[in-house]
């Protein structure tokens, strides 16, 4: 059987469309989709584990790229070894045009290519992380406020702080149309 695995990191903002488009040409029998950070090891992901339980010797597992399986070289190597040595399946990384396994493990040349490609994938992810960090630091230096927008305006927060002691948290929440936890956070931060 041919299995496909697609993963995106965030629940709200990313979709599987691009990866599914790439996999459509490979006659996948069953596709596993997961919305979870790649920093979580592959074998610690629910859908990945479901796929593992179904794998039989000789099956094929398709990934759009190495980064969809794992985000670190060590996890990529460990997971690939699990798939090809223990499960005895072939692993296909489409973007890297790399097929490994089939029950025999990696021969010397395949192991070299695999390790070089995984090192480049790790390098690429590290560069992206560095650029993101630098961009955020530059925005901070410009005075841009980062992070989530406040759930209430400063005027409402000030009213809640002024009414402290005169009303209960529940009364403040109803009066100002916010949650009880927002009231508690505002008053905690005011201390």
Q: Is the dihedral of CA 32, 36, 38, 43 positive or negative?
A: negative
SS3 state at 117: helix
Is 9 annotated as catalytic? yes
SS3 state at 20: helix
> What is the enclosing helix (H) or strand (E) of 81?
helix 73-81
Neighbouring CB atoms inside 10 A of 48's CB total: 21
Q: Round to whole Å and give the CA distance between 23 and 25.
A: 6
Catalytic residue list:
9
């Amino acid at each position: 059987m041919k299995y496909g695995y697609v993963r995106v990191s965030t629940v709200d903002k990313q979709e599987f469309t691009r990866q599914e488009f790439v996999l459509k040409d490979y006659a996948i029998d069953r596709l596993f989709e997961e919305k979870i950070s790649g920093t979580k090891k592959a074998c610690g992901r629910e859908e990945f584990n479901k796929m593992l339980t179904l794998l039989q010797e000789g099956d094929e597992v398709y990934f759009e790229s190495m980064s969809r399986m794992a985000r670190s070289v060590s996890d990529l190597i460990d997971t690939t070894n699990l798939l090809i040595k223990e499960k005895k399946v072939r692993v296909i990384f489409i973007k890297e045009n790399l097929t490994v396994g089939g029950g025999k493990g990696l021969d010397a040349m395949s192991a070299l290519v695999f390790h070089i490609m995984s090192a480049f994938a790790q390098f690429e992810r590290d560069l992206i992380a560095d650029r993101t960090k630098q961009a955020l630091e530059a925005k901070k230096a410009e005075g841009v406020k980062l992070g989530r927008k406040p759930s209430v305006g400063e005027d409402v927060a000030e009213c809640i702080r002024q009414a402290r002691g005169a009303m209960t948290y529940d009364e403040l929440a109803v009066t100002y149309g916010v949650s009880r936890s927002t009231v508690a956070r505002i008053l905690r931060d005011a201390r």
